[in-house]
Amino acid sequence: MSSEGVAARAVTLRRHQESDPGLQLIRKDTLPVVAAVLGEHLGGQQRVLTAAEFLESLREDLSALRDQGFDLPKSAQEYLADWVSAKLIVRHPGQGREELVELSPAALAAIRFVAEVEDPHSSVTSSRLANVAGLLSELARDTDPNPASHLEALLREQEELERAIAEVSAGNYESINDAEAIERLTEIIRLAGSVPGDFARVREELERVNQDLREQIIRQTGSRGDILDQVFDGFDDIDQSEAGRSFVAFYNLVLDPERANAFDASVDTVLSRDFATVLSDEEIVFLRRWLSRLQAESSQVRDVMTSLARSLRRFVESQAFREHRRVADALDQAKETLLEASRTLRPQEQTGYELAASSISISSISSWNLYDPSDTRVSRPVKYLDEAPLDIERLREQVRLSEVDFNELRGDVAEVLDHQQVASIAEVLKRHPATQGLASIIGLLVLSDAMGMSASGTEVLQWETKDGQLRRVEATRRIFDRASGSDGDRRMT
C-alpha cells in the first residue's frame, strides 16, 4: 500500500472513529460497566427485552456496581436514555404498548471484541482450516462453467465416498478423539453464536434502504402511476439489497422442515456423546434452542421487510408523499434564498424581521410520576348524616338554582295576556319581576321565540341581582299575544 493509500485509509478510520458508536464506546472510561451490563442482558442468548424488564435488571446492577466502588451517579432511566442517544441501544415497539430494547449492531460488535479480549480463543484450529478448505473446494466446483470438469469433480467425490464406505464396511473405522471433537464443537458454538446478532444489522440495513426509497420518491417528479412503478421497483430493491438477498436465502433455509428435523437430530446425537460433558448448561441450552431462536428472529425480520414494503405502498397510495414533497421543495427554496442573501448580508446583521417560532414542551418519560390511588383517599373518616324527610320546597329551590323555571314564566305570560291582548317582555317583567334574575330574562327570550314574535323598536329589560343591584339591558322588542299563546305552549312542551 502506498503512502497515499495509508493516508486515505487513516482518514476513513478517523471518520469511523468519530461516528461509530462501538468505537466510541471502546474509548470511554465507562466501558467496563457498559460492556458488562449490556453484554449480560442483551448480548447473550437473550437479545431483546422489554424496556421495563431491562430497567428493572439495570437498577439491580447499578446497586451492585456501586457497592464495588463504581461511580454511577445517574438513575437507570437516565443511563438507558444516554445509551439510546449514543446509539448503543435500539428501541422499537413491541406487542400492545410494550417497548422493546436491543443492542445496535455497532454495540454488539464492540461487546464481542471486549469478550474476545477478556477470554481469547485460538483461531488456529484444524476444524477452522477444514471448514475453509471445504467451502473453498465447493465454491470452485459449483462455479465451474465447464460441464466436463464439473462432472470430473463430482466423480472424484463419489470415488472418495465409496472408498470410505468400503473401509467402514470392512470394520476399518475409528471415530475422532475427544480433543478433536471438543475443538470442532467449540468452533460450531462460536459460529452459531455470531449468527443471531447479525439480525440487528440486517434490520438496520433494511430500514436504511426503505429510507432511501422514500427520499427518492419525495424528490422524483412525475405522475402517481410513475411513483407507484417506482414503489414496486422499491419492493425489489428491498429484497435484492445485500441484506435482503442474504436474509431471504437464510430465511428459506431455517424454515425448511427437513433441515430443521435433521438439525435437531444432530444436536441430540452430539449431546449424547461422552465428550459433550465438557459443555456448560448454558451452552447446552444454547444449542438446543439455537434453531428455534433463528426461526423466531428471522420471522421478525421478515415481518419488518413486509411492513416496510406495505408502508411504502401506503405512503404513495395515500398521496402523503405530496405533502413531504411540498415541505422538501419549501426547504430547498429557503436554502436557495439564504444562499442568495448570504452574498450581501452577514449572519449577525439585523434584518428587521422577527419570526415567531412555535414550540412544544418536551420532557423525558423519566420525569413522569405514576398515578398513586392513595393520593385521592380521604384522610379523615367519612361522616354519615341521619336521613331527613324530603322537603319539596327545598328541592324546588335547588332545581331553580340550576335550571330556568319555564313553568313559572309561562304562567306569568298567561296571566298578563288575561288582562290585555298583547304584551311585550318588558310589560311581563313589570307585572312579574324576574325571580331568577338574568335566568328569567333568558327564559322569556326563549319563550318569545316559541310563543311570540318580533316587533319594531327596542325596549329595556331589567332585573335585580342577589345583592340587590339593578341591572338593565336593551333588546329587540318581542311581544306575546293570545292567538299564538296556545300554539307556543305546544311547541315548548
Report the distance separating Cα 125 and Cα 145, nearest Å.
33
Q: How confident is the model at residue 384 (pLDDT cuts 50, 70, 90)?
A: confident
Report the distance separating Cα 466 and Cα 470, nearest Å.
10
Residue with C-alpha cell 422442515?
Answer: 257
- Residue 493: the pLDDT is 41
- Residue 491: the pLDDT is 41
Q: How confident is the model at residue 486 (pLDDT cuts 50, 70, 90)?
A: very low
pLDDT digits (tens, 9 = 90+) for 263-285: 778 888 888 888 888 887 777 87
Instruction: Tell whether the model's pLDDT for residue 421 goes beyond 60.
Output: yes
The phi, psi pair for 128, rounded to 5°, reads: -65, -40
Q: The pTM is what?
A: 0.47
List of residues 6+ apart from 426 with CB closer than 8 A? 459, 460, 461, 477
pLDDT digits (tens, 9 = 90+) for 448-478: 877 777 777 888 888 888 778 888 888 888 8
Q: Which of 148-152, 208-212, 244-248 has the lowest mean pLDDT?
A: 244-248
- Residue 399: the pLDDT is 67
**How would you class 470 by CB atoms within 10 Å of its CB: exposed for 0-12, middle for 13-18, buried for 19 or more?**
exposed
Report the distance separating Cα 413 and Cα 132, nearest Å.
106
Instruction: Tell whether the model's pLDDT for residue 82 goes beyond 80.
Output: yes
- Residue 111: the pLDDT is 83
pLDDT digits (tens, 9 = 90+) for 50-70: 888 899 999 999 999 998 888
- Looking at per-residue pLDDT, the higher value among 339 and 374 belongs to 339
Return the SS3 of 341: helix
Instruction: Tell whether the model's pLDDT for residue 393 goes beyond 80.
Output: no
